[in-house]
Each structure stands twice: as C-alpha cells, then as structure tokens.
Amino acid sequence: MEWFGTWQPKIRGKLFYNWPQGSCEEHLRFKNTNQLGPEPYDVVIVGAGVIGCGLAYKLSLYQLKVLLVDRLNDVGEGTSKANSALIHSGYDAEPGTLESELLYEAEIEWPDLASKLKIPIDPIGGVMMAVNREQEKQLSFAEKNAHANRATNVQILSSKEIRELEPNASRNVLGGLLVPGESVGDPFITSIAYAEVALTNGVDILLGTNISNVEVDHKSLAPVHHIISSDNHRIATRRIVNAAGLGGRHFADRYGGGEFDINPRRGQFALLDKSARSLIQHIILPVPTAHTKGVLVSPTIFGNVIVGPTAEDLPLDDPTATHTTNEGICKVMEGGSRLVNGLNKQPIITTYSGARCACRQGSYVIRYNDGGKGIVTLTGIRSTGLTASISLANYLINNLNKEVGLELSPDKTAINARPNSAWPGWWKRPFQGNLSNARDDHGCMACFCESISIGEISDSMDSPLKPRTMDALKRRTRALMGRCQGFDCQVQIAEIISDHTGIGISKITKNGPGSELVTSSQEEDIK
C-alpha cells in the first residue's frame, strides 16, 4: 500500500539526517548547507519536540520558508516521548493563566485535530480519588477550580458512586471527582503527525544536528541571524524560535536571551502488561498537591496501564534526568496501589522516565525579540505541553505576526490532514478490515506481541518522515513495544530496515549513530 493511497501530494520539504556515510541513504544524508537552498529561512525552530513540531505544522499552512532542527534523530524524541500521554481538560490548571486558556482551547480543538491528522485518542474520562480525610476536604476546591477553568460536567462523587464506576477502587476511597473531559492520546504520533504535514507542505527538517551557537545580527533593520551547529554548519534565518525544552537555557545563552532558570523535574513510570487493563475503566487521578499532579494510574492508548509519575527536581544537565530507579518505581507502585486494588500483582514490562521543563519564572514563558530582533524564547512548558501543543501553536502564530513581523499569507496548496493510511496499524489495520486489500507482507508477522507485520514496518519506512532507527520505527508501529520488549523481534526488525534501505546491518542503530546494535565483526557472523 502506498502511504497516501490514491491521494499523492508531493512532499515539498527536505528531510535530512546529519549522519556519517553509510548510516542512511545518500539522498537523506546532510552534507552541507547548499542542500537547504540559498535563501535565508523565514523561521528556524530549534527543537523538534511536540511544541516545535506543532508550530512547524501551523506555520506550514502559510507561504513561509521554515526549518525544524533537532539534535536527536527523530522528532518527539526528548520529553515529548516520555509522559503520561493525557489530553487534559485543564480542570486543575490555575484559572486565569495562559496555561488554563491554552488547555481550554486545546480541549475544543483536539477531536477535530486527531481525526484530521490521524492521531489515536480515547476520551475515557478521569476519576479523582480521595483516600484520606485531608484529600477529601480538597475535593470541593478541586470542583470549583475545574468550573473556573470551564471544564464541563466535573462533579463530586461519593465513595459508592466511585465503586460503581471503578469496582477495583481501593477500600480506602472516601469520595472523588468525575472529570469527563480527560482523554488518553498517542504521545508519539502527535509529534510525528505534525511534522509529516509540515514536511509535506514544504518545511525542511534536519535531524541529528545540535545547534551550539548563534550569530545575532544586531545591525540590520531586517536582520539575518545565523545558527551554527556543533559540526560548524551555518544556517541563515530571519527569525529563530527556541523550542529546545530542557536545552532552552543553554541555547538562550548563545543569543543573550533574558533570565530564566530551568531544571529537569523527573517523572518515573512503570508500564504494566495489557493484562492490567481490565482493572480500571477511567484515568485514575490522585488529589494533586501544590508541587505535582501526583501518581496516577491510567490506561494507555495502546491497551497497557501506566503508573506514575514521580516528581524529582534535579540540577540542569543531570545525566540521570531520564533514568529510572528502584526507589522511584517502588514509590509509584505504592502510590498507584493506594488507589487501585490488585495493581501490585500485575507484571511490569518496562519502566521509563521523562523530565519536565520546570521553570522558576512560571509555566508557558514566552519572550519575543529576546536577545535580538526576531528571536523568540519558549520555556517552562512543563506538564501539559502535549495537550497544549496545538493551541500554543495557534497563539504563537498570531503573536509572531504582531511581535516579530512574520507575514502570514495562507498557502492555498497546503494540505491540512493525513490520509487514512497514516493511522498506525495497531489502531486501524492498513487493509481497513478487508483482507482482500492486504498484501502478502501484511500477513508476515515481525512483532508477535503487538501483531505488527513486515508490511506495516515497510509502509512506515516509506512514510514522508522516513524513520531510520529502531526507536523511530517502534514509536510509529509499536513493533518492539510489547511484552517481550524486542527480545524476540529486534534482530528481524533490524534486518527489515537493512533490506529495505540497503544500509548495512552494522549501521542500524537504536536511536542514531553511536547506538549501533551489532559490531562489524558480528555482521560477518550474521551473514
């Protein structure tokens, strides 16, 4: 099956991996800036997390020359890949803040966005549970706060009502809050879908490229700045958006951006096997504290259950910021078990952690003309960026016009959707339930745990944003993500990539150069 089926828009943007020779096909390899064309960019976005990708998607609907650049080797590979994956209703935001406003707008936009861009979401709703008298007292405040945030149909529940909704609720539950607007979403496909539409509409995407310096043009009336990569490529641009998440402080130092302090706030999770899914019907929310939303127990869109996160403040640049620890995982399992009976009997199939971009100056800090004309700093997008990525992009578009003079002329040829064939196979099979549409390789399994076929992996490799690492394929197809966590299928999937692309097996990586799966000497053994 062709990626776009019978609908075949031309991919107008250029995609490059800044990788050594032999690690990807030559036409995808970044060698020099001539490949990007002679004109300066109108906007360069540094950071291809969900925030950078969402902005690139929205900018791609206008006649602009845009570059999205990231030091990692796929989009959404930083904090955006390691969160609770809730599409929040904003019920617990601080009323009157930009965050509250963005969450309100996002909740309205998400159903249409998900169906246009083929992002799986499930609006299962949340149930907050109070398990002691102190928490019980906070429920009426939480309800009022939700109403102040315009979160609809939020209401207090008795312990009896909770048990009817959640038969495995802890015996200690005294009452709770129904939060119908909460959904679970796909954290991976969100960034990918934004970036794919952006690329199709002409946004260039450069991966594996760390931006280590900026030459700010302070002299011209219409300045052209240069961003400079660690390997000395200079890229000219009229505007820069710093969407570098936890890398944002160091990057802002390069252009003299104003004061802000960020630190990673680590959140660890346990991922339970699919057998745990029947324990809960909703997203089970704890009563939040001033510091954190607390440990939740939530179904994933994929049919597992997650328990987490912790909230541990670490120093900037702490190399352990995305490690998991025995202590952290014990803590989340204890927290989850206070809400749901039987949780600790369920098998944990893996653990992961993400680092929130906690900023002392607040959430959703946005500075225009920061350190130079046309330079925009985004920071403090801490706990709700997946949800607000779309409303923040809309908000920024308007302000980029007002604050940094970005001319917005709609591109009438731009697409604003992905085709049906872009639904991930685990959500909707590529042959759409009609076996006569299936190819032979849709019947050949590569990942038995998640029932993902060789055909689906090949289709994914041919998709616009050509994934070329094992992790990138995993996030798109779910191969390697099941109960065996790749133990059974890793080698076969590496071989599928190698056969499909002609890249030698010793050059296939987990997540980019330096993470090769086999050595050249082992390659001989495989042959």
User: Does 77 engage in binding with ligand FAD (CB under 6 A)?
Assistant: yes
CA max distance for the chain: 69
Residue 357 C-beta: closest distance to ligand FAD, Å: 6
In the list 3, 14, 70, 476, the residue contacting ligand FAD (rule: CB under 6 A) is 70
Count residues contacting ligand FAD (CB under 6 A)?
A: 40
Supply the angle between the helices 187-200 and 470-477 in degrees, to the nearest 10: 100
Q: Which is nearer to ligand FAD, 190 or 506 (CB)?
A: 190
Q: What is the Cα–Cα distance from 208 to 29, expressed in whole angstroms?
A: 10
**DSSP 8-state symbol, 130:** E
User: Does 85 engage in binding with ligand FAD (CB under 6 A)?
Assistant: yes
Q: Which is nearer to ligand FAD, 51 or 494 (CB)?
A: 51
Alpha-carbon separation of residue 516 from 7, 17, 482, 507, 511 (angstroms): 36, 16, 22, 6, 8
Q: Using CB under 6 A, which residues numbered 304 to 323 contact ligand FAD?
A: 309
Token reading at 136? 């019980």
Sheet holding 121-122, edge to edge: 86-87, 183-185, 121-122
Amino acid sitting at position 225: H
Cβ neighbours of residue 252 closer than 8 Å, sequence gap 6 or more? 242, 258, 260, 370, 371, 377, 379
User: Does 88 engage in binding with ligand FAD (CB under 6 A)?
Assistant: yes
User: Does 249 engage in binding with ligand FAD (CB under 6 A)?
Assistant: no
Residue 54 C-beta: closest distance to ligand FAD, Å: 8
Q: Using CB under 6 A, which residues numbered 339 to 368 contact ligand FAD?
A: 354-356
Q: What is the Cα–Cα distance from 241 to 223, expressed in whole angstroms?
A: 15
Alpha-carbon separation of residue 193 from 91, 113, 417 (angstroms): 26, 10, 9
Which range touches ligand FAD (CB under 6 A), out of 133-141, 378-386, 402-410, 452-460? Answer: 378-386
| Burial of 123 (C-beta count, 10 Å sphere; 0-12/13-18/19+) | middle
User: Does 86 engage in binding with ligand FAD (CB under 6 A)?
Assistant: yes
User: Does 80 engage in binding with ligand FAD (CB under 6 A)?
Assistant: yes
Are 181 and 151 in contact, with CB atoms under 8 Å apart?
yes
Helix spans in 150-242 (H): 159-165, 187-200
Q: Which is nearer to ligand FAD, 86 or 376 (CB)?
A: 86
Nearest CA among 23, 511, 517 for reference residue 526: 517
Residue 209 C-beta: closest distance to ligand FAD, Å: 6
Which range touches ligand FAD (CB under 6 A), out of 17-25, 242-250, 273-281, 451-459? Answer: 242-250
Q: What is the Cα–Cα distance from 120 to 261, expressed in whole angstroms?
A: 35
Q: Which is nearer to ligand FAD, 310 or 490 (CB)?
A: 310
β-strand pairing of 234-237 with 225-229: antiparallel
Q: Which residue has the tokens 């082992």?
A: 522
In the list 13, 23, 30, 49, the residue contacting ligand FAD (rule: CB under 6 A) is 49
**DSSP 8-state symbol, 507:** G
Q: Which residues pair with 67 in a beta bridge?
A: 44, 204
Cβ neighbours of residue 139 closer than 8 Å, sequence gap 6 or more? 128, 130, 156, 175, 176, 177, 287
β-strand pairing of 204-207 with 15-17: parallel
User: Does 384 engage in binding with ligand FAD (CB under 6 A)?
Assistant: yes
In the list 245, 371, 464, 512, the residue contacting ligand FAD (rule: CB under 6 A) is 245
Q: Which is nearer to ligand FAD, 244 or 396 (CB)?
A: 244
Residue 298 C-beta: closest distance to ligand FAD, Å: 8
User: Does 69 engage in binding with ligand FAD (CB under 6 A)?
Assistant: yes
Phi, psi of 68 (to 5 degrees): -115, 125
Q: What is the Cα–Cα distance from 422 to 114, expressed in whole angstroms?
A: 12
In the list 247, 424, 425, 482, the residue contacting ligand FAD (rule: CB under 6 A) is 247
Residue 203 C-beta: closest distance to ligand FAD, Å: 15
User: Does 482 engage in binding with ligand FAD (CB under 6 A)?
Assistant: no
Which range touches ligand FAD (CB under 6 A), out of 43-51, 114-122, 399-407, 465-473? Answer: 43-51
In the list 23, 60, 73, 79, the residue contacting ligand FAD (rule: CB under 6 A) is 79
Residue 384 C-beta: closest distance to ligand FAD, Å: 4
Which range touches ligand FAD (CB under 6 A), out of 50-58, 169-177, 197-205, 423-431? Answer: 50-58
Quick note: the x/- pattern for ligand FAD over 253-272, rule CB under 6 A, is: --------------x-----
Residue 413 C-beta: closest distance to ligand FAD, Å: 28
Amino acid sitting at position 28: L
Binding residues for ligand FAD (CB under 6 A): 46-52, 69-72, 77-80, 83-86, 88, 210-211, 243-247, 251, 267, 309, 354-356, 381-387
